[in-house]
């Protein structure tokens, strides 16, 4: 199957999988417990949710691209006659796509951070410390 067809199928599956239950799992700001602990206002919750929704499609597309590229790399590595130049191009595309996904996620996290007060950021950091 061609890469573009696999990509479109992957995007479709991710869109279906990202229904209310799947999307809800990462939306900590919609949890009443977190809203109370952080003293989030309804305006903050709405703003964070709008940012999340605005970035969701881009992150889904990048995730689907990454899945397709990872599959292609695995197939290429399993091939006894893999072309080094083709492998390098594919691995470079994989690394670039992974980096773009990380950038998109980090942009979202920074935008969310800007919505929180210093006290809210400190409370959030205490609840979920970085390793």
DSSP per residue over 48-91, as a string?
HHHHHHHHHHHHHHHHHHHHHHHHHHHHHHH-TT--HHHHHHHH
Q: Does 105 map to a domain?
A: yes
Tokens of 107: 């942009």
Q: Does 130 map to a domain?
A: no
Phi-psi map region of 40: left, alpha, beta (phi>0 left; psi -120 to 50 alpha)? beta
What domain count does the chain have? Answer: 1
Return per-residue pLDDT of the chain as tens, 131 residues. 555 555 444 444 444 444 444 445 589 999 999 999 999 999 999 999 999 999 999 999 999 999 999 999 999 889 888 888 988 999 999 999 999 999 999 999 999 999 999 999 999 999 887 64
Whole-model pTM above 0.75? no
Q: Does 128 map to a domain?
A: no
Is residue 117 classed as helix, strand or coil in its secondary structure? coil
- Domain span at residue 98? 3-18+32-123
Q: Do 6 and 68 meet the contact criterion of CB atoms below 8 Å apart? A: yes
Q: Does 86 map to a domain?
A: yes
Q: Does 118 map to a domain?
A: yes
Q: Does 41 map to a domain?
A: yes
């Amino acid at each position: 199957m061609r890469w573009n067809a696999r990509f479109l199928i992957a995007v479709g599956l991710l869109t279906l999988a990202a229904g209310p239950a799947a999307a809800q799992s990462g939306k900590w700001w919609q949890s009443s417990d977190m809203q109370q602990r952080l003293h989030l206002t309804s305006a903050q919750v709405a703003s964070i949710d709008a940012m999340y929704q605005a970035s969701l499609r881009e992150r889904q597309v990048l995730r689907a691209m990454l899945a397709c590229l990872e599959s292609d790399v695995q197939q290429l590595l399993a091939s006894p006659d893999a072309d080094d130049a083709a492998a390098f191009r594919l691995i470079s595309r994989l690394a670039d796509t992974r980096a773009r996904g990380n950038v998109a996620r980090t942009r979202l996290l920074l935008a969310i951070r800007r919505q929180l007060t210093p006290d809210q950021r400190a409370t959030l950091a205490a609840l979920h410390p970085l390793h």
